[in-house]
Amino acid sequence: MDFSKDLSIIILAAGKGKRMKSEIPKVLHRICGKPLIYHILKQVISLEPKNVFIIIGHKKKIVREYLDSNFPSVKAIDQDRQSGTGHAVMMASDDFSGMGKNILILSGDSPLITAGTLTSLVKLRSENDLSVSILTSITQDPAGYGRIIKDGDGKVLKIAEEADASREERLITEVNSSIYCFEKDHLRENIDNINIKNSQGEYYLTDIVEMLINKGERAETFVISDHQEARGINDRSQLSEAEDMLSHRINKKHMENGITIRNPSSVYIEDTVQIKPDTIIEASCFLRGNTMIGKGCSIGPFSQIDDTKIGPRTTVNSSVIIGAGIGPENNIGPYSYIRPGTITGEKVKIGAFCEIKKSNIDEGSKVPHLSYVGDTEIGKGVNIGASSITVNYNGFSKSRTIIEDGAFIGSDTMLVAPVRIGRGAIVAAGSVITGDVPDNALAIERAKQKNIKNGAVKYRNRKKMDREK
């Protein structure tokens, strides 16, 4: 079936989401790094539909801005007064003429739904020439869901919303997911006939199903095996549960693609992260944003990596890396912080308790421990001794430090920018360097050592006398 010609999508996303208790529209709450509506749109757009419409209402300006920035091909339609699912679909009636024969309608708060399930629902309708196909599931706890009412032969009679269901109907365990595929003409001809004669005083989209059946049209259900796939999100607890489920799905996909994940329930990987085979992700890692991790890497426990590209065979030990580009065969950490704008070459070492900010570190260079490097260009084969600092800020502006190939910076050194350390130069430990160092020069800037004979004894005696006063 060519979905691109025959399929249109309507997503209902106008509700207030009162139980979220938030200033943020419900569909913009995030799981695994992206808004709920993103996850749904990702699935439906993969079906290559003719067009996609989203009904928006509560905080519509914010929702529209998100859609315009991220999904410009999607048309947003205003529903200024929220009066039920049927009323929401009415808002799209002016666009029916341009829609495909199959109109797939779903809620904007069902982020776990998959393209495969939606495809099956559309195929059920089109291949059997149904007026509507309804996505349902079986659950032992049907509270809160509409019930699917069938006759003794399994024929669909109607959908009873829980508020209007009888005691007998509430015992039914097949529930409505609020996802439907309608034949366009049947939907268009009946949408204006629904009314608000129900306990909620709203226009129920489900009433159209009963109307169609009463006219002799056919409706069938497609029962999904996993009830959770079609669940909606109504509060923060359900949001958290959905994130756990989606995270499990994402981690499983990576493991199927050749990634080892230790204790996967503790590892958080966002949907946008890419990882090459034979990489090992240890427990309690967070991988977020547009992160790309190369082949054969090792990401140690408690690491956080955001919007960073990491080359193959690199090891990261319990460190934070944000907005950086890390080269092949690097060794980072433990407990280091790599900040945005940092780029490293091949075989670079950034050891324990280092902070690197907006710096380029070329092949084979080392910042082994306890150092701050900011706004710096480091050439090849450079060694930065422990507790060294590039002093890049004078209280008003930032300046850059340049350390050329083969230079050696002794421990506990301060390089006061702007400054250049020449090729092959050595800076003695404990120096404060405020001027350029020529190639192959030895720079020493510190007071001459003075040893006072018996000075320690005199010092202690003086302190003892002070205490006795």
Residue 100 has pLDDT above 90, yes or no: yes
Is there a catalytic annotation at residue 369? yes
**Coil/strand/helix, residue 160:** strand
The span from the CA of 324 to the CA of 316, in Å, is 13
The mean pLDDT value for 159-177 works out to 92
pLDDT digits 0-9 by tens, 234-271: 999 999 999 999 999 999 999 999 999 999 999 999 99
On whether the CB atoms of residues 405 and 423 are closer than 8 A, the answer is: yes
Residue 447 has pLDDT above 90, yes or no: no
pLDDT digits 0-9 by tens, 48-82: 999 999 999 999 999 999 999 999 999 999 998 88
> Which pLDDT value is given to residue 3?
57
> Which pLDDT value is given to residue 197?
87
Task: Give the rounded percent of residues in the chain with a pLDDT score beyond 90.
Answer: 91
> Which pLDDT value is given to residue 200?
86
Half-sphere exposure of 90 (CA within 13 A, CB side): 20
The span from the CA of 360 to the CA of 133, in Å, is 58
Give me the residues paired with residue 269 across strands.
Answer: 287
On whether the CB atoms of residues 433 and 414 are closer than 8 A, the answer is: yes
Residues, the chain: 469
The span from the CA of 88 to the CA of 194, in Å, is 12
pLDDT digits 0-9 by tens, 121-132: 999 999 999 999
Please report, for residues 94, 230, 237, 279, the alpha-carbon distance to residue 220 in angstroms, rounded to integers and kept in the order given: 27, 17, 32, 46
Domains of the chain: 3-230 (3.90.550.10), 236-443 (2.160.10.10)
If one counts every other C-beta atom within 10 angstroms of the C-beta of residue 75, the result is 14
Which 3-state string (H, E, C) describes 97-157? HHCCCEEEEEECCCCCCCHHHHHHHHHHHHHCCCCEEEEEEECCCCCCCCEEEECCCCCEE
Q: Which of 29, 39, 186, 369 is catalytic?
A: 369
With CA atoms as reference, report the closest residue to 59 among 37, 42, 74: 37
The mean pLDDT value for 286-300 works out to 99
**Coil/strand/helix, residue 324:** coil
Is residue 209 within a helix (H) or strand (E), and if so which, with residue range?
Answer: helix 206-214
Residue 199 has pLDDT above 90, yes or no: no
In whole numbers, what is the pLDDT of the chain averaged over residues? 95
Residue 215 has pLDDT above 70, yes or no: yes
The span from the CA of 431 to the CA of 456, in Å, is 25
Residue 310 has pLDDT above 80, yes or no: yes
The confidence band for 2, taking pLDDT boundaries of 50, 70 and 90, is low
pTM of this structure:
0.90
> Which pLDDT value is given to residue 399?
97
pLDDT digits 0-9 by tens, 328-354: 999 999 999 999 999 999 999 999 999
